[in-house]
Chains A and B, each alone.
Chain A
Amino acid sequence: MASRLLLRWRRSLATRVVTMTLIASAILVGGAMAFLLVRVTNGLVDANTSKSIAEANVGLAAAEQVVLQASEAGPPTASEGLADAIMNALVNSNEGGAAYEVLLLDGASTGAPMPERGTNLVEVASVPTDLRAQVRTQGERAWTYSEIRFVTGPSEPGLVVGSLIPVGSQAYQVYYLFPFGELQGTLDLVRSTAWAAGIILVTLLGLLMLFIARHVVRPVRQAARTAELLRAGFLEQRLPVKGEDDLAALALSFNDMAASLQTQIRQLENLSRLQQRFVSDVSHELRTPLTTIRMAGDMIYSQRDDLPPALSRSAELLHDQIDRFETLLTDLLEISRFDANAAVLESETVDIRTVAQRVVSAAQPLADSAGTQLRLSGPDEVCLAECDPRRIERVLRNLVSNAIEHGEGQPIDIRVGADDRSVAVSVRDHGRGLDEKDLTRVFDRFWRGDPSRARTIGGTGLGLSIAMEDTRLHGGRLAVWGRPGQGASFRLTIPREAGGLVGAGSPLPLDPEEVTL
């Protein structure tokens, strides 16, 4: 799930744009809302505080008036009656009902205890001890915010204003407690409204960005899809151009680029096709005169015993070189066919051992003349594979004749192997071998193993290139191993089923000696 989201984040521009917009707008809107809330809260609290303090002042003044009237009859004492009178003055001094609570507490530790009063079961603990100390010791009017608690019912935040009212030698502590319940309600409403507005705003912004991103991304995605189609070879694909905006400009440039690519690719294709056609045509056109030359040459060659020595030798040279010329022509034609992708497999099911046997028998005369022994080994059971036997035979013929040419008369081992999925033939000689540089170039066209050495068989230099192409056509692998002075080994591996592919593995080791040693 998380990885899918991450993938989506990485893949989709729209997702990224929308997500980033949401985050940024949430921060911005959140900040603005927080600022607004702080300002509103502070304003409301300040207004409420000053109003409450004013109310407290009125009440305190009324209470002091009560104490003053009481003292006209003599020094007042803290009687129950006085406490009630003060309390009455405190509570009822403000019109419009009591939106506050009042506590009348004994203000000093000295003298006789004074009767205490309170409204609505408000708890004394609602007044912070700091405030009480401040009021008692300094006798000043002071206020603070506090949690106002009741003996029953929930507590609520509020303002506490305290003061001292001297009564004779003693003094009352008076506390006005203004619960901010109403204010709290207003603030809650403002806060929830702000939140809702913020969320709606952010959501709308997100949707808007999604819409815009879609709008912008759609043509980009379409461009990507079209580019993909172009890559797959559908060169006539173009983007639709709508309007004159930036996206239309993008589509226009894209289309121009596609058109230019198409032209260039067509040109290259034409050129390459022309060249392949040319090679193929040349090879074909050469064949008819070559046939006549070959027949004429053979006629002369068959009569060479009746000719003077110089003419006789000329006839032999002519005969041999026509052979060579013909092989070269055949190989060139074959290569041009591969280059033109015109080579087709003619698959049938054959026993690969039979093919190898046929190749070995055909190469026997050549091996005899080079004094080389050919050793064929393989499993006893049939090794069936679906392949083009002419091509496979050509590959093996090539490997074996190469081995004879470079094998320096040492025995050559031809091994056949098979497993469930593939069959393989390896050809191992013990001649001069190949060094590392040779190994990289051995399949190159017209590459010669040892230019200084006289060629005895006179291959065209295309044999291994053709063998490689034939192997590839089968979905197989042609691998080479070699060490200077130790000989070389070529291994052909092809899948048993036509259309299959062989992996890195093979039924046979590349260097068969490795196993036996």
Chain B
Amino acid sequence: MKGRVLVVDDDPALSEMLGIVLQSDGFEPFFVADGERAMEAFRHTRPDLVLLDVMLPGKDGIEVCRAIRAESGVPIVMLTAKSDTVDVVLGLESGADDYVVKPFKPKELIARIRTRLRRLDDAKPETLRLGDLTIDVAGHSVRRNGSAIELTPLEFDLLVCLARKPWQVFSREVLLQEVWGYRHPADTRLVNVHVQRLRSKIEKDPENPELVLTVRGVGYKASDTTD
């Protein structure tokens, strides 16, 4: 069994088709058709990943996303019919790790899901330091002066990717490839939004970041002064 996937979508045909595709790739799908019952289903099925449609009857996808994020860091991939800036950014800011725009190709969706679940498999003991942060890669934990900082798996991956090579500047495209698993150029807003979310959790002053720095015109890098 590769993983449990909760599909939150109100369109029965699409849900069924998603089920077929997920099953044929070895995932175990669960379904819920409206936003009101999504949390209940989430708690009941305890999925490894959530596929969440933005447009839902009852609670919309953005609200469901916030509710899930409030209790869990589980990877959330939004299914959206809108690629409009506002909707996408709203979805990402409400806590989604990634999004796919309808109509997507099954392979593309599976690739997104695989990348988000990949980190569950690998676990080599490794400890990184970034500024006053201590990162335990295998234990998936970040500590500052002994107290733990809660990060979602995606934010953790992003931090580890940057902290492993503090001397290197990562372009948004490279980060999309490394962290999100995109092999083709994609929406760099994903990177921007998640860097902001990461900063809001690890920086003392997110307005003047000291750990994750912006390199104008190029991308981001981790601060290489370890103290």
Contact = CB atoms under 8 A, between A and B. Distances in A.
Contact of A349 (B84, B102, B217): B217
B40 interface: no
Which of B11, B86, B105, B189 has the most CB atoms of chain A within a 10 A radius of its CB? Answer: B105
Interface string A265-301: 0000000000000000000100111111111101100
Contacts of B216: 349, 384
Contacts of A188: none
B99 to A, nearest CB: 13
A393 B85 CA distance: 16
Contact of B102 (A290, A337, A351, A358): A290
B138 interface: no
Interface in B1-29: 11, 13-14, 17-18, 20-21, 24
Contact of A284 (B14, B82, B171, B187): B82
Given A290-B103, A292-B14, A342 B189 contact: no
B54 to A, nearest CB: 11
A296 B187 CA distance: 26
B107 A291 contact: no
Contact of B17 (A296, A344, A354): A296
Contact of A299 (B11, B13, B20, B103): B20
A38 B192 CA distance: 96
A510 B33 CA distance: 55
B81 interface: yes
Q: How large is the interface on B (under 10, 10 to 19, 20 to 34, 35 or more residues)?
A: 20 to 34
Given A299-B24, A349-B216, A291 B103 contact: yes
B125 interface: no
Contacts of B13: 289, 292
Contact of B185 (A299, A384, A393): A393
B106 A326 contact: no
A294 B11 CA distance: 15
Contact of A346 (B14, B82, B85): B85
A156 B203 CA distance: 108
A295 B184 CA distance: 20
A290 B17 CA distance: 12
Given A291-B102, A295-B17, A326-B103, A389 B85 contact: no
Nearest to A325: B103
A346 B102 CA distance: 21
Nearest to B88: A346
B104 A294 contact: yes
B188 interface: yes
Interface string B190-225: 001000000000000000000000001110000000
Contact of A358 (B21, B24, B185, B192): B185
Contacts of A292: 11, 13-14, 17
A299 B81 contact: no
Interface in B62-105: 79, 81-82, 84-86, 102-105
A257 interface: no
Interface in A281-331: 284, 287-296, 298-299, 322, 326
Contacts of B82: 284
A433 to B, nearest CB: 31
Contacts of A293: 103
Interface in A30-65: none
B11 A348 contact: no
Contacts of A350: 217
B85 A294 contact: no
| 9 smallest beta-carbon distances between A and B, as pairs | A291-B103, A287-B102, A290-B103, A287-B81, A291-B102, A294-B103, A349-B217, A295-B17, A292-B17
Interface of B: 11, 13-14, 17-18, 20-21, 24, 79, 81-82, 84-86, 102-107, 171, 173, 184-185, 187-189, 192, 216-218
13 contacts: A284-B81, A288-B102, A289-B11, A290-B102, A291-B79, A291-B102, A292-B11, A292-B13, A292-B14, A294-B104, A295-B18, A298-B105, A393-B185
